[in-house]
């Protein structure tokens, strides 16, 4: 029932289109044309305008009056480098030529959704109302999902095709997150003539960092300083330093406690040295956790059984558009689709996994109809 050649060709066509975050215009137009050809009502919202992007979320609707509503989603943007992607098929695997990412994250998810709906239409399969959302700017903070008016469409269930791992795995737990900058403002002075007249911002930061909990804090919580920037010249006592910080935890309470602890350390050490401290860390997406008896999981499990794919659940340390939709009160489950080594030039996906993911989507729609 799945047209493997058509599925692969469609994915490769999209993979070749450069679509970094907020520059999704060309791939958005390609997807709109595909959805219109299938017979969906297609619109594009204005999500990109808020962030100076050149495209909005692409939304397609396949009506089924009186039926339940199912949202299927994947994001259009990819991480860099994504210009001049050259997909190669080798031994049943699609990969790039090694100079760019492949873009399976998340164009494979879009290809799966489009092929599944084609199969539904071609075979006159009974289906729920289907809402397709191809979102923008997922990779830089789930921006498209945050701007998408999910309340307007009110899906009963949402499935986000955007995780590594074999098809059949559903993401039932994701972390709460926070990130931003921490700035220490010291006092400049000539480093060779009068260093005692200055306050070295890096020294202040270093003393604070020795007291922080960083890395893997416990089984639920991580914390990291990923970038440090500061200084004006080698002969000037460093007047300012900015630290780029993030933290995640499956426990919202643990994250709150960690953020307070981190703030207090920097605040106290800064006072001790006579420096100033600016905390620009803000909370991002909220985590979620599904119990095994959730109805959305029962549909997914049954779909896996129907097509002979092993069902499993897992947690992940990353976020996806599901985090936004769950926070807004709409049940959303992220599905693994087989993408591997994402965000690297070694990224690849097995064609068999693409076919199996598409089968699962078709079966999910049949089960919920």
Please, which contacts does 94-100 make with residues 24 or more away whose CB atoms are closer than 8 Å? 94/8, 94/11, 94/12, 94/15, 94/348, 94/349, 94/350, 94/351, 95/346, 95/347, 95/348, 95/349, 96/15, 96/345, 96/347, 96/348, 98/345, 98/346, 99/345, 100/345
Could you check whether the bond before residue 106 is cis, i.e. omega within 30 degrees of 0? yes
Between CA 48 and CA 53, with CA 50 as vertex, the angle to 5 degrees is 35
Q: Which residues pair with 225 in a beta bridge?
A: 245
- Helix/strand/coil (H/E/C) assignment for every residue in 101-121: CCCHHHHHHHHHHHHHHHHHH
Q: Is 77 tagged catalytic?
A: yes
Residue 1 in this model has a pLDDT that exceeds 90 = no
Which token pair is 309?
């794919």
Cβ neighbours of 26 (radius 10 Å):
15
Per-residue confidence (pLDDT) for residue 147, from 0 to 100: 98
From the list 285, 211, 201, 202, the residue with the least C-alpha distance to 246 is: 285
Q: Which residues pair with 25 in a beta bridge?
A: none
Rounded CA gap, 361 and 313, in Å?
17
Average pLDDT over residues 218-240: 97
Q: In this predicted model, what pLDDT tens digit does every residue of 342-358 receive, in sequence order? A: 999 999 999 999 999 99
Rounded CA gap, 66 and 128, in Å?
9
User: SS3 for 24?
Assistant: coil
Average pLDDT over residues 168-190: 97
Rounded CA gap, 98 and 84, in Å?
11
* Mean of pLDDT over the chain: 97
Rounded CA gap, 27 and 25, in Å?
6
Domains and CATH numbers, the chain: 4-174+287-368 (3.40.630.10), 176-283 (3.30.70.360)
Q: In this predicted model, what pLDDT tens digit does every residue of 237-260 receive, in sequence order? A: 999 999 999 999 999 999 999 999
Which token pair is 262?
């981190």
Average pLDDT over residues 139-164: 97
From the list 54, 56, 171, 159, the residue with the least C-alpha distance to 109 is: 159
Angstrom CA distances, 111 to 10, 20, 102, 106, stand at 6, 18, 14, 9
Average pLDDT over residues 6-24: 98
Residue 225 in this model has a pLDDT that exceeds 90 = yes
Q: Is 138 tagged catalytic?
A: yes
Per-residue confidence (pLDDT) for residue 10, from 0 to 100: 98
pTM of the model: 0.92
Question: What percent of the chain shows pLDDT beyond 70?
Answer: 100
Which token pair is 167?
């098809």
Q: In this predicted model, what pLDDT tens digit does every residue of 267-305 receive, in sequence order? A: 999 999 999 999 999 999 999 999 999 999 999 999 999
Q: pLDDT-derived band of residue 214, with 50, 70 and 90 as boundaries?
A: very high
Count Cβ neighbours within 10 Å for each residue of 156-170 and write b for 16 or more, e otherwise: bbbbbbbbbbbbbbb
Average pLDDT over residues 152-166: 98
Cβ neighbours of 309 (radius 10 Å):
18
- Of 24, 45, 129, 138, which is the active-site residue? 138
Q: pLDDT-derived band of residue 131, with 50, 70 and 90 as boundaries?
A: very high
DSSP string, 36-83: HHHT-EEEE-SGGGGGT-S---EEEEE--TTS-EEEEEEE--BPSP-T
- Of 24, 45, 77, 220, which is the active-site residue? 77
Q: In this predicted model, what pLDDT tens digit does every residue of 139-150 receive, in sequence order? A: 999 999 999 999
């Amino acid at each position: 029932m799945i047209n493997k050649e058509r599925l692969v060709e469609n994915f490769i066509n999209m993979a070749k289109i450069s679509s970094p975050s907020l520059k999704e215009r060309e791939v958005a137009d390609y997807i709109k044309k595909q959805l219109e050809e299938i017979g969906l009502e297609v619109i594009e919202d204005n999500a990109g305008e808020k962030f100076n992007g050149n495209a909005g979320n692409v939304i397609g609707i396949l009506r089924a009056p009186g039926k339940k509503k199912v949202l299927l989603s994947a994001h259009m943007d990819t991480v860099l480098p994504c210009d001049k992607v050259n997909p190669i098929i080798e031994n049943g695997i699609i990969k790039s030529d090694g100079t760019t990412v492949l873009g399976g994250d998340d164009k494979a998810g879009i290809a799966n959704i489009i092929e599944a709906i084609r199969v539904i239409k071609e075979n006159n399969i009974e289906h729920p109302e289907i809402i397709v959302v191809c979102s923008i700017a997922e990779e830089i903070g789930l921006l498209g999902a945050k701007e998408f008016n999910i309340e307007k469409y009110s899906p009963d269930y949402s499935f986000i095709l955007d995780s590594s791992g074999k098809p059949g795995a559903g993401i039932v737990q994701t972390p709460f997150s926070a990130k931003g900058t921490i700035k220490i403002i010291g006092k400049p002075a000539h480093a060779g003539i009068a260093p005692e007249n200055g306050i070295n911002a890096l020294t202040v930061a270093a003393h604070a960092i020795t007291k922080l909990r960083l890395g893997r804090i416990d089984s639920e919580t991580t914390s990291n300083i990923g970038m440090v920037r500061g200084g004006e010249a080698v002969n000037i006592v460093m007047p300012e330093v900015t630290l780029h910080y993030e933290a995640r935890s499956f426990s919202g309470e643990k994250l709150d406690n960690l953020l307070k602890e981190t703030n207090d350390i920097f605040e106290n050490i800064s006072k001790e040295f006579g420096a100033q401290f600016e905390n620009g860390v803000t909370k991002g997406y909220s985590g979620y956790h599904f119990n095994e008896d959730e109805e959305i999981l029962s549909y997914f499990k049954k779909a896996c059984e129907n097509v002979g794919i092993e069902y499993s659940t897992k947690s992940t340390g990353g976020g996806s558009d599901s985090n936004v939709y769950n926070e807004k009160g709409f049940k959303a489950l992220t599905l693994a689709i087989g993408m591997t080594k994402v965000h690297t030039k070694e990224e690849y996906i097995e064609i068999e996994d693409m076919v199996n993911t598409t089968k699962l989507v078709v079966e999910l729609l049949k089960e919920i109809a």
